[in-house]
Chains A and B, each alone.
Chain A
Amino acid sequence: MTRPFWLLLALAFPLTTLAAEETYVIEPVHSQPMFEVQHMGGFSNQRGSFGKVSGKIMLDRAAKKGSIELTIDTTSIRSFNDRLDAVLKGEDYFNVAKYPTMTFKSSNLMFDGDRLVGADGELTMLDVTKPVSLKVVNFMCGEHPFNKKPMCGAEATATIMRSEWGMKAGIPKSTSDQVRLTLPVEAYRE
């Protein structure tokens, strides 16, 4: 590329804006965390989700840095079965009366080029904080097709052993220790 082109680019995008950190706010309707467990020692996989989530993602794609803060309302757990929802909200599982939220925080994001591909962070559940590595796929940024606001989206996944957070009920006969988490994320730039 010729020198005048780079000069033009440098004038159009000063360094301060190239390196700027952007704040993305979670769009809760399309960012509902899902979970998947094995039922009855492996007869089937059962799924559920949390309907209420909030949070922010700070991204500096040029510097390949950023942070994530997610808060999940544990009272919003849904398993597609009302009777089971009551059990999951109870003392043996999420104990939502005592622990109404769980959080994921990370300030260690991994990039491939300018694409977010992972985040090492900490999940706090039942007041226990343990490390969790999120794998991020399908990361993309662009305009929301209807309202034209800038947004990013991705799918984040992780597999945890719930017993590490002290949630040991029903292992392994009723439901597995291993829980697969899938977090679809859409977030608008602030």
Chain B
Amino acid sequence: VTKPVSFKVSNFVCGEQPFNKRPMCGAEVTATIMRSEWGMKYGIPKAAGDEVRIYLPIEAFRE
């Protein structure tokens, strides 16, 4: 199932990794989805909520 999701990006920062000095960027990406929209309906609402908060900490080295 493919559905649209809007991700919010905070704490975006680029610079040198402090140990190996390679250029990198980092950020925190978050989104809140309703899992039932993808057909994952099990356990709603008693066992676990429909609403799911997703956190994606990201670090990426420049190639």
A residues with a Cβ closer than 8 A to B are 39-47, 145-146, 173-174
- Which chain A positions have C-beta within 8 A of B57? 39, 44-47
Residues on the B chain within 8 Å of A40, using CB: 17-19, 26, 59
> Chain A: which residue is nearest B58 at the CB level?
A44
With an 8 A cutoff between CB atoms, is B24 at the interface?
Answer: yes
Q: A41–B25 Cα gap in the complex (Å)?
A: 12
In the assembled complex, which residues on chain B have CB atoms less than 8 Å from the CB atom of A42?
11, 13, 26
Query: How far in angstroms is the closest Cβ of chain A from B51?
Result: 13
The answer to whether A45 and B59 have CB atoms under 8 Å apart is no
Other CB < 8 Å A-B pairs besides A42-B11, A44-B27, A145-B46, 20 of them?
Answer: A39-B57, A39-B59, A40-B18, A40-B19, A40-B59, A41-B18, A42-B13, A42-B26, A43-B13, A43-B25, A43-B26, A44-B11, A44-B26, A44-B57, A44-B58, A45-B11, A45-B57, A46-B57, A47-B55, A146-B46
Q: Which of A44, A145, A146, A174 has the most CB of B within 10 A?
A: A44
CB distance from A137 to the nearest CB of B (A): 14
CA distance in complex: A128, B11 (Å): 32
List the A residue with the shortest CB-CB distance to B46: A145
Task: Give the top 9 A-B pairs by smallest Cβ distance, nearest first.
Answer: A43-B26, A44-B57, A44-B26, A145-B46, A173-B18, A44-B59, A45-B57, A43-B59, A45-B28
Considering the chains assembled together, what is the distance between the CA atoms of A46 and B57 in angstroms?
7
Complex interface: chain B residues within 8 A of A46 (CB) = 57
Whether B46 and A173, one on each chain, are in contact in the complex, defined by CB atoms closer than 8 angstroms, is no
Residues of B contacting A43 in the complex (Cβ-Cβ under 8 angstroms): 13, 15, 17, 24-26, 59
For B26, the chain A residues whose CB sits under 8 A away are 39-40, 42-44
List of B residues within 8 angstroms of A41 by Cβ = 18
Once the chains are docked, how many angstroms separate the CA of A41 from the CA of B47? 38
Could you give 16 example pairs across A and B, Cβ below 8 Å? A40-B18, A40-B19, A41-B18, A42-B11, A42-B13, A43-B13, A43-B15, A43-B24, A43-B59, A44-B26, A44-B58, A46-B57, A47-B57, A146-B46, A173-B18, A173-B19
Q: Which of B1-34 contact A (CB under 8 A)?
A: 11, 13, 15, 17-19, 24-28
